[in-house]
Structure formats: structure tokens, C-alpha cells
Amino acid sequence: MYRIVLMPKAKVDLVTITAYLSKFYESTPRKFIEELEKKLETLSFSPWYMKWEKNTEYRKFFVRRYMVLYQVDEVTLTVYIHRIVNAMLNLKSDIEVMEDRKVYDMKKIRNHIYGPIRSRRLGNSLGVDMVPHKTCSLDCVYCECGATTVHTMERREYIDTDSIISEIDDYLSSAPPPDYVTFGGSGEPTLHSGLGRIIRHLKERFPSQKLALLTNSTLLGDRGLREEILPCDLILPSLDAVTDKVFREINVPVAGIDCVGIINALIALSAEYRGQMWLEVFIAPGINDSDSEVVLFKEAIARINPARVQLNSLDRKGTCETLAPAPIELLEGIARRLEPLPVEIVAKRNG
């Protein structure tokens, strides 16, 4: 079943049409609305009416002499009604200008946000890409986004903060709310110096919208950053190594970061944070799965005290061609050794 959303301009159109029709007979606007609702009901079962030949991104149907223009989002199963216009009037000036596209152009919307996607851990998640492709403090061997292009620990406004806010606002004010708005993407989101402002804005404007942050944990030693992210409902930090040799091998960090610093930062965050923290440990066979590393993982994670420990492994090809997914038996063995920590396997089961 498709959900129907009347976009702001369609609502204005409807008010204008109703006011206009009320000049004739009292019952005309009501009849018009009834007819429109009946068509919308049918539309929600079968959204593929006629294409609008002037711009085939849009579909159309008619209620009396009014043309209804809409788009269908198959991911969220939503029918967006954009305009309801008098088909007898000059549609050229009314619609071809397509001022709506400023708001609804999917390409524009998706410059810095993507999805919502179905996520194993987060349900229906609207992703926010906070930094240019592969701007990261690490260059993990398992990264599915390719090699890091900007290897840095510098926090700055890589992308205009206002344009990120405006894209998320546009989405949240016109589409069904996702389970989470998730700061993540193809780089390290905490590198963006506007993260705190975006989080505060969203919590003020959409207080019931849950926010999640995926982070590689490397910047959490910064007390100011930790304060910025406290309003998030869920923080999913990573910890893939507890000794520096393994850290360099699996995560390839920028010079100057070490495991002790990251573990201490995670302990500090856990003490300050009131939301849920799910710690992800990516298992790379032959790199971070030795007995001694697992023993140290257990000690470090017990001190961090996250609500969940999630064991993950390769799903798609990483930057290291020879890296293989961890077999399920390996993950189950590590999970047993980490008990009684609240550990679960989130890796895709590959047989």
C-alpha cells in the first residue's frame, strides 16, 4: 500500500481550487474533494497512471478539469502529490517553470543524503554523507567505499552545513519519517565541524526523529566533539584493534593516533552519554582474530561498557583484494570468548 503525501504547493492548490469552486454551488468543492479522494485511493493501489509528457519524472491524472501531478518513491512506498492545477489554463507558465523542482528534485535532495535504505542494524535509515568521498582518518583494509583519498584528522566544514540541513529538512518535512537519520557515508562524519549544529537543529525541529552516528572513534578524544554528539539517540563507534600493530594493519590510521587514546576516549564517551552505544568490531581473519588480541578486546570492551558489542565482517569487497569474510564459526568462537559481554553477530551469514 502506498502512502499519499500532499506536498506544500499541492495543499495551496487545493485551497485555491476549493475557494474558486465555492463561488458556484455550495456542494461543488465537497464533490470535487470526494472525487479527488476516490482517485487517490485507487492511486495508492496502482500508482502508475499516465506519464506527464512534458516531464516524464512526473505522472498525472485528472479530477474534472484539474490535472494532478505526482511522483512515486518506490523505496518509501510514497506517492507525492506535487500540484493540482487547472488543466484549461496556461499550464506552460504554471508548471513548466517547475519551481517545485527546487524542493523535490531527487538529484538535488540526494547530494548529501541517501536512502532511506534498509539497514540490518538500523532498520529504515536515511543516510547523511557529511564529508567528500573517502575523507577519513583511517584507510581500513575492509572499507567498501574504496581507498581513502583525503587522509586527515582535521575537523572543518568540508560541505556547507546549511545545505546539509536544508536537504534533511526537505526530506523530513515531506516524507514518512525513517527509523533513523544516520550520520555516516563514505568517510568519517565527525570530521565535519558542523556536525554538532546539525544535530542540535534536527533535535529542535524534529524532536521525535531518532538520530544515529556511525564513527570510527578516532576523534572521540576531543571533549568538544563528544559534547556535540551527546543528543544522538544511538552511537555506533568502531574498535577493530586493541594493539597498535594490529591497528596499523587493519585500519591504517593517520600518524599520531593510537589504540590507548581511542579506548580511553570510548570509556569517557560511555560515561558521559545517556543514549545507546553499540560498539562494532570488524573481524578480519588473520589480522585481528588472534587469541591474545581477543583477550585484550574483552578487557578493553568491559571497561568501555557498551550496550551491545556487534561482530561484523566483510560483506562486499574491501580495498584489500585478498581479504576474505570471517567464517561464521570464527565469529561464533570469538563471540563465545567475549561472553558475558552483550555480544551479537551482525555480519551477513555467508553459509
**Which positions touch ligand SF4 (CB under 6 A)?**
136, 138-140, 143, 145, 148, 187-188, 216
DSSP-derived secondary structure letter, 191:
G
Q: Which is nearer to ligand SF4, 10 or 138 (CB)?
A: 138
For residues 121 and 266, what is the distance between their CA atoms, to the nearest angstrom?
A: 20
Contact of 331 with 311, CB cutoff 8 Å: yes
* Straight-line distance from the first to the last Cα atom of the chain, in angstroms, rounded to the nearest whole number: 34
- Minimum gap (Å) between residue 200 Cβ and ligand SF4: 24
- Minimum gap (Å) between residue 165 Cβ and ligand SF4: 22
Q: 295 to each of 260, 284, 285, 300, 330, how far by Cα in Å?
A: 15, 16, 16, 9, 15
- Minimum gap (Å) between residue 319 Cβ and ligand SF4: 8
- Minimum gap (Å) between residue 145 Cβ and ligand SF4: 5
Q: Which is nearer to ligand SF4, 188 or 228 (CB)?
A: 188
Residue of 111, 226, 101, 223 lying closest to 163 (CA atoms):
111
Q: Which is nearer to ligand SF4, 139 or 222 (CB)?
A: 139
Q: Which is nearer to ligand SF4, 32 or 278 (CB)?
A: 278
- Minimum gap (Å) between residue 146 Cβ and ligand SF4: 8
- Minimum gap (Å) between residue 184 Cβ and ligand SF4: 8
Q: Which residues contact 11 (CB under 8 A, 6 or more apart)?
A: none
**Cell numbers for 179:** 527509523
Query: What's the CA dihedral at 105, 110, 116, 121 to 10 degrees?
Result: 180
Q: Which is nearer to ligand SF4, 100 or 188 (CB)?
A: 188
Place of cell 555506533: 236
Residue of 124, 209, 125 lying closest to 173 (CA atoms):
209
Environment class of 325 (CB within 10 Å of its CB; exposed 0-12, middle 13-18, buried 19+): buried
Q: Which residues contact 91 (CB under 8 A, 6 or more apart)?
A: 54, 67, 85
Q: Which is nearer to ligand SF4, 143 or 314 (CB)?
A: 143
- Minimum gap (Å) between residue 308 Cβ and ligand SF4: 19
Q: Which is nearer to ligand SF4, 139 or 249 (CB)?
A: 139
